[in-house]
């Protein structure tokens, strides 16, 4: 029965082709069926550390999201920090505020005041250009089969979302050019990108030249900025701390 539900959910996700918002609506409906009403899906650019550029969608309070963005809690979130070292569901509970940095302490207190006392976070499967977490709020226990189902569904939704974003803006770029651009989003130098992708410096520079030409910009920084400008269906956080709510 559960296997059939998973199969039906994945089929529905794969059929969505219009906008990323449709994927979110389907994810919300599926999670509701699994008694996971309040959740968030955060997609970060980077492999090991949380960057200041990410997409987030949540069914929790909009006021909480605004506070989260305004105070830059995404760079100190102790839940995410802990999860960087593991690859399995992580149950957490806010019991006290000891052994936290001042910013982490403020994060925990505000979450508690907003009614977020506990949760269950599932890391998404590692991807070459991004990673993320699917968090179910105020729920610390789910049947392993349900966890497995939600993990599959969250990963499928994330991959579908990223396909949509790439299709919208990056369709003119080759696969390798996209990989180079995704690394530049991390503010890496040309040399660092070449090391990360295991290609030569000159090849990396060649790809960046092609990217600039295809996107109609003069610099790599402008290419990165143009990328973010086209990510208008998500809450987007940039190094400046400026927040844009999805339309």
**Mean pLDDT, range 48-54, rounded to an integer:** 58
What's the CATH architecture for 175-229?
Answer: Orthogonal Bundle (1.10)
Q: Is the pLDDT of residue 44 over 80?
A: no
CATH no. for 2-169: 3.30.450.80
Query: How far is C-alpha 176 from the geometric centre of its chain's CA atoms?
Result: 21
Query: What does pLDDT average to over the chain?
Result: 76
What residues does each domain of the chain span? Answer: 2-169, 175-229
- Give the model's pLDDT for residue 165: 66
- Give the model's pLDDT for residue 53: 57
Full-model pTM: 0.65
**Mean pLDDT, range 113-132, rounded to an integer:** 80
Which one of 103-112, 129-138, 140-149 scores highest in mean pLDDT? 103-112
If one counts every other C-beta atom within 10 angstroms of the C-beta of residue 197, the result is 18
Q: Same CATH fold, 175-229 and 2-169?
A: no
- Give the model's pLDDT for residue 91: 83
Q: Is the pLDDT of residue 188 over 80?
A: yes
């Amino acid at each position: 029965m559960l296997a059939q539900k998973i199969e039906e959910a994945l089929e529905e996700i794969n059929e969505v082709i219009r906008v990323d918002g449709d994927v979110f609506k389907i994810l919300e409906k599926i999670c509701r069926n699994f008694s996971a009403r309040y959740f968030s899906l955060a997609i970060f650019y980077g492999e090991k550390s949380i960057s200041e550029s990410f997409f987030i969608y949540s069914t929790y309070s909009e006021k909480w999201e605004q506070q989260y963005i305004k105070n830059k809690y995404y760079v100190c979130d102790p839940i995410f920090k802990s999860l960087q070292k593991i690859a399995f569901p992580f149950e957490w509970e806010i019991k006290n505020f000891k052994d936290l940095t001042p910013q982490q302490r403020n994060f925990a207190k505000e979450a508690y005041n907003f009614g977020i006392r506990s949760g269950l976070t599932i890391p998404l499967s590692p991807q070459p250009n991004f990673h993320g977490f699917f968090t179910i709020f105020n729920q610390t226990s789910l049947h392993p089969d349900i966890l497995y189902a939600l993990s599959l569904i969250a990963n499928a939704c994330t991959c579908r979302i990223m396909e949509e974003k790439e299709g919208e803006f990056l369709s003119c770029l080759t696969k390798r050019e996209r990989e180079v651009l995704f690394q530049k989003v991390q503010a890496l130098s040309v040399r660092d990108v070449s090391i990360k992708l295991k290609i030569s410096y000159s090849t990396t520079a060649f790809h960046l030249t092609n990217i600039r030409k295809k996107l109609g910009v003069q610099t790599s920084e402008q290419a990165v900025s143009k990328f973010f400008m086209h990510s208008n269906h998500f809450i987007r956080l940039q190094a400046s701390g400026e927040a844009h709510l999805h339309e």
